[in-house]
Structure 1
Amino acid sequence: MNKLLGWLAIAVIIGLTYMWQPEFFHHAYGIIEKGDIAALAEYLRSFGPSAVLITIILFVVMTFTIVFPFMILSGAAGIVFGLWWGILISWMGEVIGAAVMFVISRYFFRHAVEGWITKSPYLKQVDDYSAANGFKALLIARLLPLAPSGIITAVAAISRITARDFILATVIGKLPPVVVKVLLGHDIVFAGENMTRLIVIVLLVIAIYAGLWWSKRRKVKRE
Structure 2
Amino acid sequence: MSTYLQHFTDDLIGLNIGFLFIISITISIVISILGFLPSIFLTAFNISVFGLWAGIAISIVGESLGAIISFFLFRKGMQLAGVDRILTNKYFLKLKESSGKEWILLLFFFRIVPFVPSSVVTIAAAFSSISIFSFTAISSLGKIPSLLIEAFIVANLLDSKNGNGLLMLGAIVVGLVYFLYRLKNKRK
TM-score by length of 2: 0.66
State how far apart, in whole Å, the 1-side matches of 2:128 and 2:68 are.
15
Distance verdict in 2 for CA 1:82–1:124, change over 3 Å: closer
What one-letter code is carried by the residue in structure 1 that aligns with 2:67?
Answer: A
Distance verdict in 2 for CA 1:152–1:192, change over 3 Å: same
Q: Which has the larger radius of gyration?
A: 1
1:151 deviates by: 2.3
Larger RCO (CA under 8 A, 6+ residues apart) = 2
1:150 deviates by: 2.0
Matched residue, 2:72: 103
Matched residue, 1:189: 158
What's the CA shift string for 1:43-93, capped at 9, x where partnerless?
854643211111011100111222221111111101111111001000000
Matched residue, 1:56: 25
Give the gaps of 5 or more residues in structure 1.
1-37, 118-122, 195-223
What one-letter code is carried by the residue in structure 2 that aligns with 1:48?
Answer: N
Matched residue, 2:125: 156
Number of residue-to-residue matches in the alignment: 146
1:127 deviates by: 3.5
Distance verdict in 2 for CA 1:124–1:138, change over 3 Å: closer
State how far apart, in whole Å, the 2-side matches of 1:165 and 1:105 are.
16
State how far apart, in whole Å, the 2-side matches of 1:83 and 1:106 are.
34
The percent of aligned pairs where both chains have the same amino acid is 25
State how far apart, in whole Å, the 2-side matches of 1:163 and 1:71 are.
26
TM-score by length of 1: 0.57
1:171 deviates by: 1.6
Structure (1/2) with the larger helix percentage: 1
Give the gaps of 5 or more residues in structure 2.
164-188
State how far apart, in whole Å, the 2-side matches of 1:125 and 1:66 are.
19
